[in-house]
């Protein structure tokens, strides 16, 4: 049986990697096409310059015929030469026109690559993932009775986590739309004439939100353990919906010079820091809710699969936030970057209210022992302070939290700054024309799904549901890639590949530790506080990242002709971006080695007297 499991894993890995490669190739421009476009761009101006000369030659010929005898003689001598040159110039004009038309045609085709075209590779990839998960043999439950795991249970479990998970994905969209909005705000002059949202401004606004997110778990974790995951997701979705609505209205006021526009322009960073921080408070309910609910629905031996699902949901959220967000920005505009997530969250609030239940028992099914840290604990729920102390004294939980601190830094260092780096250095590196830049959200989504699925399968099937080995392997990948990136980040052929591979690794780790290990070691009774501690460290790492890059990254100059100038346009000034990732990747790898053999242990029930 173990041999067949190894064969299934090998086939699964090959299918995932093969589909990843295929998906990346879809829509990618060939080198020849890119060369033609560049030639067309260079040739078109020359054609425009030559066109007046050709017209003048024809005009001189006509003038020669109508001129006085002396003038005719002079013009007649010039006309044949002009006529001889005219065909060559007309040919140059024709070729340039054809090249320009071809370039415009290619550009037009590229512009038509919309939502459904970019979504197709993701849907194909998800079909392959579902096929892989369906082909895997059932988990080894160690001889425990799993009569509760009926077909009706499995169907109801999907109906439970699917709307809950998609709500979490749209929370991501309402979280990272701040980064999408930066691409509009940085091209709008603020009260001082500089960009309304510079690199430093974004760093501070994002840091304010992530600090609030990190510390919110001190309140929201215990609250979720007490009131349930369904309560948490409803509160989180409603609050984030309202805050995105307010950010959309603020953007509308700035663009239309409406009510309070002068105040908003003069205090832009302060206002958006407050709005985004409150949004992130409500956002923090999302992770706690999805883990709290699913801790009751997944046995510890199948939680690697849930880790894969968690990674898929995160990845879809990233796609919605970035690729769909940029489409919204280029289409309906900046205001809708905030309003559309608000609308989607409102819709899914209703679906969650209708379908989500905290436990199988509340859905009319049988509750079961999940074999996690709460197994055998039939006593009353401990107080939040007491549980918090227990978690903080648990070396495994603290080690996982520290690993996730590194994950928070690395994940957002890539996701939040690659496109900014590419855009601001485009005059030299030309990364805005790359497939990775154009399909950033799609590639992050596919990479994240790959990392989550591979991590989940390997954890459950090869390492007997241990999460440490997978985290160690993926952190090793990140450390190697971060070192290589520091030497090659100015190489357009390499930088895109490296950041996608690093994204695959870090999302795989995040899904495995925040989504799965928090269930295992917190147990279904106390998972709210456990995921609060672990995910809180994730966003404290993100806050440190934001502040670090706000300080070390190059500053933009004032806008000149609507374009950014200054140190930020020079690639060599961005060396701090990849170098800062190296120590976090190495530390994360070493910490993962410390929990290589860690597994949850339930509370032993006292022996009964015969």
Q: How confident is the model at residue 34 (pLDDT cuts 50, 70, 90)?
A: very low
- pTM for the full model? 0.69
What is the pLDDT averaged over residues 518-531?
Answer: 77
| Phi, psi angles (nearest 5°) of residue 366 | -95, 125
Q: What angle (nearest 5°) sits at the alpha carbon of residue 436, between those of residues 434 and 438?
A: 70
- Site of tokens 């609060």: 532
Q: How confident is the model at residue 278 (pLDDT cuts 50, 70, 90)?
A: very high
Q: Which has the minimum average pLDDT: 44-58, 229-243, 312-326?
A: 44-58
Evaluate the CA torsion angle 569, 570, 573, 579 in order and state its sign: positive
| Phi, psi angles (nearest 5°) of residue 443 | -70, -40
Q: How confident is the model at residue 473 (pLDDT cuts 50, 70, 90)?
A: very high
Cα distances (Å, whole numbers) of residue 142 to 5, 296, 300, 371, 464: 16, 19, 11, 11, 10
pLDDT at 163 over 80: yes
Share above pLDDT 70 across residues of the chain, in percent, rounded to a whole number:
73
Q: How confident is the model at residue 3 (pLDDT cuts 50, 70, 90)?
A: very low
Q: Which has the minimum average pLDDT: 107-116, 377-386, 534-543?
A: 107-116
In Å, how far from its chain's centre is CA 158? 24
CB-CB neighbours of 98 under 10 Å: 13
* pLDDT, tens digit, 9 for 90 and up, residues 69-96: 454 454 445 555 555 555 555 555 555 4
pLDDT at 342 over 90: yes
Give the pLDDT of residue 14. 47
Q: How confident is the model at residue 321 (pLDDT cuts 50, 70, 90)?
A: confident
What is the pLDDT averaged over residues 218-236?
Answer: 90
Domains of the chain by residue range: 2-27+113-360+382-594, 37-103
- Site of tokens 């604990």: 377
Q: How confident is the model at residue 410 (pLDDT cuts 50, 70, 90)?
A: very high
* pLDDT, tens digit, 9 for 90 and up, residues 171-208: 999 999 998 999 898 888 777 767 788 888 988 998 89
Quickly list H helices, 67-113: 69-111
Short-list 589, 581, 595, CA closest to 472: 589
Helix axes 395-424, 492-512, angle to 10 degrees: 150
Structure-model confidence comparison of residues 80 and 137, the more confident one: 137
Short-list 119, 122, 125, CA closest to 17: 125
Nearest 10 degrees: Cα torsion 350, 354, 360, 362: 120
Give the pLDDT of residue 8. 45
Residues facing 195 on adjacent strands = 189
Q: Over the chain, what is the mean pLDDT? A: 78
Buried b / exposed e across 20-33, counting CB within 10 Å, b at 16+?
Answer: beebbeebebeeee
Q: How confident is the model at residue 240 (pLDDT cuts 50, 70, 90)?
A: very high
What is the pLDDT averaged over residues 296-314?
Answer: 77
- From CA 379, how far away is CA 212, in angstroms rounded? 33
Short-list 538, 511, 515, CA closest to 527: 515
Q: What angle (nearest 5°) sits at the alpha carbon of residue 486, between those of residues 484 and 489?
A: 95
Q: Homologous superfamily of 2-27+113-360+382-594 in CATH?
A: MFS general substrate transporter like domains (1.20.1250.20)
Q: How confident is the model at residue 381 (pLDDT cuts 50, 70, 90)?
A: low
Using an 8 Å Cβ cutoff, are 235 and 300 in contact?
A: no
Using an 8 Å Cβ cutoff, are 541 and 404 in contact?
A: yes
Structure-model confidence comparison of residues 108 and 148, the more confident one: 148
What is the pLDDT averaged over residues 290-294?
Answer: 87
Short-list 326, 327, 295, CA closest to 310: 295
Give the pLDDT of residue 170. 93
For the chain, how many residues are written?
A: 610
Q: What angle (nearest 5°) sits at the alpha carbon of residue 538, between those of residues 528 and 447?
A: 105
Give the pLDDT of residue 109. 43
What is the pLDDT averaged over residues 417-421?
Answer: 90
Structure-model confidence comparison of residues 272 and 135, the more confident one: 272
Q: What single string gives the DSSP state of each residue in 285-344?
A: HHHHHHHHHHHTTS-GGGHHHHHHHHHHHHHHHHHIIIIIHHHHHHTT-HHHHHHHHHHH
Give the pLDDT of residue 484. 96
pLDDT at 457 over 70: yes
Residue 398 contacts by C-beta under 8 Å, 6 or more apart in sequence?
Answer: 392
What is the pLDDT averaged over residues 461-480?
Answer: 89
What is the pLDDT averaged over residues 383-410?
Answer: 85
What is the pLDDT averaged over residues 7-11?
Answer: 46
């Amino acid at each position: 049986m173990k041999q067949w499991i190894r064969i299934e894993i090998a086939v699964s890995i090959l299918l995932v990697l093969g589909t990843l490669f295929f998906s990346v190739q879809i829509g990618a421009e060939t080198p020849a096409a890119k060369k033609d476009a560049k030639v067309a761009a260079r040739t078109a101006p020359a054609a425009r310059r030559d066109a007046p000369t050709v017209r003048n030659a024809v005009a001189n010929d006509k003038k020669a015929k109508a001129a006085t005898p002396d003038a005719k003689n002079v013009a007649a001598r010039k006309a044949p030469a002009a006529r001889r040159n005219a065909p060559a110039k007309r040919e140059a004009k024709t070729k340039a026109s054809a090249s320009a038309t071809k370039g415009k045609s290619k550009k037009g085709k590229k512009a038509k690559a919309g939502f459904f075209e970019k979504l197709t590779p993701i849907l194909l990839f998800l079909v392959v993932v579902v096929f892989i998960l369906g082909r895997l043999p059932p988990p080894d439950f160690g001889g425990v009775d799993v009569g509760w795991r009926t077909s009706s249970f499995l169907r109801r479990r999907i109906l439970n986590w699917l709307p809950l998970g998609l709500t979490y994905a749209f929370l991501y969209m309402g979280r990272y739309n701040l980064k999408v909005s930066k691409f509009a705000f940085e091209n709008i002059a603020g009260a001082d004439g500089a960009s309304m949202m510079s690199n430093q401004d974004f760093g501070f606004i994002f840091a304010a939100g992530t600090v609030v997110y990190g510390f919110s778990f001190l309140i929201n974790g215990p609250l979720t353990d007490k009131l349930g995951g369904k309560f948490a997701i409803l509160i989180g979705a409603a609050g984030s919906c309202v805050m995105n609505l307010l950010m959309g209205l603020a953007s509308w006021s700035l663009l239309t010079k409406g009510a309070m526009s002068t105040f908003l322009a003069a205090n832009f960073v302060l206002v958006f820091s407050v709005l985004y921080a409150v949004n992130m408070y409500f956002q923090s309910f999302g992770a706690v809710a999805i883990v709290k609910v699913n801790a009751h629905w997944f046995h510890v031996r199948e939680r690697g699969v849930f880790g894969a699902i968690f990674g898929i949901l995160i990845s879809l959220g990233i796609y919605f936030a970035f690729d769909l967000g940029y489409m919204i920005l280029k289409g309906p505009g900046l205001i809708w970057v905030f309003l559309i997530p608000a609308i989607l969250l409102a819709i899914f609030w209703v679906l969650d209210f209708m379908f989500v239940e905290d436990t199988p028992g509340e859905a009319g099914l049988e509750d079961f022992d999940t074999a996690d840290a709460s197994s055998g604990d039939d006593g009353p729920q401990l107080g939040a302070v007491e549980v918090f102390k227990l978690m903080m004294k648990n070396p495994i939980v603290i080690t996982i939290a520290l690993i996730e601190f590194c994950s928070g830094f690395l994940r957002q260092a890539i996701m939040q700054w690659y496109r900014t780096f590419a855009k601001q250095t485009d005059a030299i590196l030309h990364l805005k024309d790359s497939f990775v830049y154009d399909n950033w959200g799609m590639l992050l989504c596919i990479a994240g799904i790959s990392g989550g699925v591979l991590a989940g399968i390997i954890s459950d099937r090869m390492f007997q549901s241990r999460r440490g080995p997978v985290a160690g392997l993926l952190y090793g990948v990140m450390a190697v890639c971060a070192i290589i990136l520091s030497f090659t980040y100015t190489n357009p052929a390499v930088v895109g590949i490296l950041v996608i591979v690093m994204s695959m690794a870090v999302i795989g780790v995040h899904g495995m530790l925040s989504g799965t290990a928090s269930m295992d070691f917190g147990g279904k009774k106390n998972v709210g506080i456990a995921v609060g501690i672990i995910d809180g460290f994730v966003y404290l790492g993100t806050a440190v990242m934001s502040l670090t890059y706000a300080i070390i990254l190059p500053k933009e100059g004032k806008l000149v002709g609507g374009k950014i100038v200054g140190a930020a346009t020079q690639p060599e000034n961005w060396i701090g971006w990849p170098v800062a990732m190296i120590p976090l990747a190495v530390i994360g790898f070493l910490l993962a080695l410390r929990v290589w053999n860690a597994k949850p242990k339930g509370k032993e029930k006292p022996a009964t007297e015969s």
